[in-house]
Every structure is written in C-alpha cells, then in structure tokens.
C-alpha cells in the first residue's frame, strides 16, 4: 500500500535509498560533493515516495536556515494597499524572488519595516530572531539605511542592497536609473520636445538623484535648457498634483513630462484633464513604472519598464552563492531597463515649440511616432 504523501519524511527517503539523512539533505539542497549515482538514487526515492522537502529537513545539512527575507517599506506599502492603489512592485518582487528561491530549495518571506521609525532596530531584531534568515534583500529606502545594514552584518547575514550604491556591507544591485532617465529624455527629445519636465521622487531614495542626473545629462547633450523643469515629489499622488501644476504654470510650460512613479503619473493625468489638455496632442507623459495603472490608462502610457522580478531573482542568486562561499561581485550588478512606447508620447503640437526649436521642426515620420 502506497504511503500517504503527508506521512513521508526525509527518514523514509534515506531508508529507501539506503543513504544517510545528511546525504538526502545535500541532494535536496543541490550541494556539491554528492556522486551522480547517489543523487539519482535519492531523487528516484523522492519521486517514488512523493516526498516534499521541508525547511526542517533542509536545515539538517548545516547552519543555514534556507530562508531569505525581503524587506519592503511598511508605510508606503500599507498605504498603497489600503487605498487600493497598490503597484506591481511587491508582486514582481515575489515573482522573481520566490521562483528563484524554489529552484534552490529556499523560501522567501516578505517583512514590512518602516525605515523612518524610532523602532526600526527593535523591529528588525525581532524579525531576525523569528525568521533567522540566511540572507536579506533590501529595497529602497532600506537599502541605504546604515542602521539596518549594520545590524544584518553583525548577525552574519548576507545582504543584497537594491537601489543603493553607498558604501557598506553586502552587494549592490541597480536598475540603471540614471540610464533609464537618459533613455526617457532622449525619447522625448527625438520626438521634437524642447521643454521636457521631470517629476522626481523622494530625495531620501538614492535612485531619485540618479534619475535627476540622467535627465540633466540628456537635456544638456540635446542642447536643451532644463531651468525650471525639475519638480520634486515624494512618490505620492498628492505630490504629483503639485509638481505637475508647477511644470505647467511656467511662463514657457513643459510640453512633455517624465514622472517617477505610477501614483504621481495618475496625478499628472488628472491635472491635464482638469486643464482640458489632450494626451498626447497637448502634453506627452512618460511614466517610470509600467504597472496596470499605466498600461490600462487612457491613453496607454509610454513607460520605463523596471525589471523588478529580474533584479530580485539576481539578488537571491547572489545571496545563495555567498552562503556557499562564492565571492560576491565587487562591482554593482546592473539589470537594464526597457522603454515601452505607447500612445501617450508624440511630437509637440505644431506651433507650441516653434519659438524654441534650435533646428528644423520634426519630420512627419517623427510626428507619427508612438
């Protein structure tokens, strides 16, 4: 009579394969130094018995917990969920992280911690004690918080810092925010825009500064004046309303706006609608997130697609490699972005830019772009 699936343990697998418990655990966790024929015997027994590895069994192979913890910003994440304005960030992080963890016999757990709280140290220590993670993935702004990185390093936990290049323990991964801002600005300049505004994100995020740098550099390379075209938000809808109004109230207003996330993009669309502006005839808008809010807007928005799933999967790989004694990369790991062109960007309306164009108006083919 076949065993019921839930009753099968690592001991049954070891007995069926005629090997030690440690050997079964090493095979489950893809450890080196297990002979191919031994691996086959163990995997055949696992398949025959219908064994599903448990975290407890995995931990038998050594001091590892086989758990990776991802820290996300509590305040912003909960606010988005409660307002039902959640973004793809957490979903994509889970997609990339959980699938990559599963490939290596790991599990990923997401914890929310408010980096601005006076209790951040207590909250983090409680999470470490409860989960005992092998590694932690830090997302902005946690990835640049020295209190958090110091605690993790003290506990000998591998650290993957997404969106931070500050010196500190662990290894850094970025989504090339500076290059992405350049790409967005160059796209709009190629359409013939000369008044290209940027709504930046919160200053306590390193990536906000990188995007400003990329936009400034691309504007300078195109021979365009950026004076008065930078408006700083904090990633919230309300800040997007204020920033968009500031760019459109200029004596020579922006004809195209790059917006640093989807919530501020929603605000930009609402301001444009309130003022009777048609997108993209009167104003081009380009978003820095490619979330459902952006994809299903009317019109669908041109966007920088950030590889959140890919960068999280790479972070998992680096943590696992580090725990196995492999040397982490010395240089930051850069995962490139893509620009997805839709119908929210087009050449500026005839006459709007004529006074400021340094060269001939865009060609008819450019006017059909997007």
Other C-beta atoms within 10 Å of 11: how many?
A: 11
**Residues 32 and 74 grouped into a single domain:** no
Q: Considering only 40-44, 50-54, 66-70, 303-307, which range has the smallest mean pLDDT?
A: 50-54
Longest Cα pair distance anywhere in the chain, in angstroms? 86
- The yes-or-no verdict on residue 299 having pLDDT over 70 is yes
**Residues 234 and 99 grouped into a single domain:** no
Selected residue with higher pLDDT from 100 and 55? 100
Find the domain containing 343 and state its range.
177-305+339-367
**Residues 280 and 362 grouped into a single domain:** yes
Contact (CB, 8 A) for 124 and 84: no
CATH number, domain of 38, equals 1.10.260.40
pLDDT for position 257: 98
Separation of alpha carbons 38 and 26, rounded Å: 11
> Percent of the chain at pLDDT above 90?
63
**Of the residues 59, 77, 103, which one is the last residue of a structural domain?**
59
**Of the residues 14, 36, 59, which one is the last residue of a structural domain?**
59
229, burial (CB in 10 Å: exposed 0-12, middle 13-18, buried 19+): buried
Range 75-81 average pLDDT:
81
**Residues 297 and 323 grouped into a single domain:** no
**Residues 352 and 205 grouped into a single domain:** yes
DSSP-derived secondary structure for 266-311 = HHHHHHHHHTTPPTTTT-EEEES--SHHHHTSSSPPEEEE--HHHH
**Residues 362 and 216 grouped into a single domain:** yes
Contact (CB, 8 A) for 223 and 194: no
**Residues 28 and 131 grouped into a single domain:** no
- pLDDT tens string 149-200: 999 999 999 999 999 999 999 999 999 999 999 999 999 999 999 999 999 9
Number of domains in the chain: 3
**Residues 202 and 137 grouped into a single domain:** no
CATH number, domain of 206, equals 3.40.50.2300
pLDDT for position 353: 46
**Residues 189 and 300 grouped into a single domain:** yes
pTM of the complete model: 0.79
Separation of alpha carbons 45 and 105, rounded Å: 17
**Residues 168 and 250 grouped into a single domain:** no
User: 3-12, 107-116, 248-257, 328-337 — which one is most confidently predicted on average?
Assistant: 248-257
Write out the two tokens for 117: 């709280």
**Of the residues 13, 31, 59, which one is the last residue of a structural domain?**
59
Write out the two tokens for 19: 């090997």
**Residues 214 and 265 grouped into a single domain:** yes
Mutual orientation of helices 262-274 and 237-248 as an angle, nearest 10°? 50
Taking CA atoms, 352 is separated from 197, 252, 260, 358, 369, in Å, by 15, 10, 25, 13, 18
**Residues 101 and 239 grouped into a single domain:** no
- The yes-or-no verdict on residue 55 having pLDDT over 70 is no
């Amino acid at each position: 009579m076949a065993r019921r699936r839930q009753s099968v343990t690592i001991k049954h697998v070891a007995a069926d394969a005629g090997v030690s418990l440690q050997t079964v655990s090493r095979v489950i966790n893809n450890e080196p130094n297990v002979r191919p024929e031994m691996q086959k015997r163990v995997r055949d027994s696992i398949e025959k018995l219908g064994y599903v590895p448990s975290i407890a069994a995995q931990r038998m192979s050594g001091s590892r917990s086989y758990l990776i913890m991802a820290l996300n910003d509590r305040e912003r994440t909960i606010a988005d969920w409660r307002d039902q304005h959640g973004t793809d960030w957490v979903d994509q992080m889970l997609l990339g992280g959980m699938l990559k963890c599963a490939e290596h016999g790991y599990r990923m757990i997401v914890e929310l911690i408010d980096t601005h709280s006076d209790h951040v140290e207590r909250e983090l220590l409680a999470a470490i004690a409860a989960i005992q993670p092998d590694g932690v993935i830090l997302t902005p702004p946690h990835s640049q918080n020295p209190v958090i990185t110091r605690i993790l390093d003290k506990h000998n936990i591998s650290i993957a810092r997404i969106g931070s290049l500050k010196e500190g323990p662990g290894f850094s991964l970025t989504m090339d925010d500076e290059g992405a801002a350049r790409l967005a600005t160059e796209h709009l300049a190629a359409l013939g825009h000369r008044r290209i505004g940027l709504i930046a994100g919160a200053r306590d995020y390193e990536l906000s500064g990188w995007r400003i740098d990329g936009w400034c550099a691309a504007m300078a390379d195109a021979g365009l004046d950026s004076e008065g075209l930078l408006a700083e938000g904090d990633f919230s809808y309300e800040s997007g309303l204020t920033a968009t109004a500031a760019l459109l109230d200029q004596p020579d207003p922006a004809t195209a706006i790059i917006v640093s996330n989807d919530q501020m993009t929603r605000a930009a669309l609402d301001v444009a609608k309130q003022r009777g502006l048609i997108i993209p005839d009167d104003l081009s808008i380009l978003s820095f997130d490619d979330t459902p809010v952006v994809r299903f807007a009317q019109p669908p928005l041109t966007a920088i697609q950030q590889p959140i799933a890919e960068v999280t999967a790479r972070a998992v790989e680096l943590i696992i490699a580090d725990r196995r004694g492999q040397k982490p990369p010395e240089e930051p790991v850069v995962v490139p972005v893509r620009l997805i062109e839709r119908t929210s960007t087009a050449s500026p309306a005839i006459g709007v830019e004529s006074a400021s164009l340094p060269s001939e108006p865009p060609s008819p083919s450019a006017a059909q772009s997007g």
